[in-house]
Amino acid sequence: NKKPAFSVAAELVQVPENSGCVSAHPFWNGLSEATCNRNESNRHVREGFVTGITMGDPFENGAAKCSAAELSSAVTATRCEAQTGTFVVAVVGSTDLFVPGKEPNIASDGTLSFILAQNKFGSASFSVTLQDSSGVSSDARSFTLRVTNVNHAPSFHMPQRIVGYEGTAFNSRVCPEASPGA
C-alpha cells in the first residue's frame, strides 16, 4: 500500500476580515482573480485548493484492475482495493479567527472551506495530511490563513428630531451611537 499524496495550491491564503467568497476551480491567482459570490456572510469556499490527489498507485486510485490471481492472494489483495481519502486539518496555534466548529476543512475533492469570526484578524497555520481508507497517511503539507484588517468607516446615528428651547441650556448628546470604525 503506497502513501497517498497531494499538493496545496497556495501556502498562504489571504482574505479580508468580515468577507465571504465562494469561488469555482481554478481560482488561485490571488483573491482579486477569484470569481466570488460576495453575498456570503463570512463563508469561504475555494474549489481546487488541494490538487494532485492520489491514494497511491493506479490500483489504489481505482484506475487499474487486478487479476483474479492477485485478488485471491493475501499479499496483493489489499493493493488491489480502490481507496478513498480523508483530509485531516490540524491547527497550529489559535482558531479564534473562525466561528467555533467552522475552522478550515478540506473535502475529499480538495475544496477548502471555513467561516470567519466577525471582526477578527490575524494569522493561523495549519498542517494537512491525507489518510486513505486503509489507514496510511500522506506526508504533511502546511498552509497559513491570513485574515487582514479592514479599516471600517466611522458611523453614527442621529435622531430624526432634536428639540431645544430658546433660553435653556442644551445638555443632550446628539449622536449617542457614534462609532469610530475599526
- pLDDT by residue (tens digit) across 99-136? 999 999 999 999 999 999 988 899 999 999 999 888 88
pLDDT at 47: 85
pTM: predicted TM-score of the whole model, two decimal places: 0.72
What secondary structure letter does DSSP report for 155? Answer: B
Q: Is residue 48 scored above 90 in pLDDT?
A: no
d(CA 83, CA 63): 11
Task: State the cell numbers at 94.
Answer: 489559535
Which of these ranges, 75-84, 141-150, 155-164, has the smallest mean pLDDT? 75-84
Q: Is 63 exposed, middle or buried (0-12, 13-18, 19+ CB in 10 A)?
A: exposed
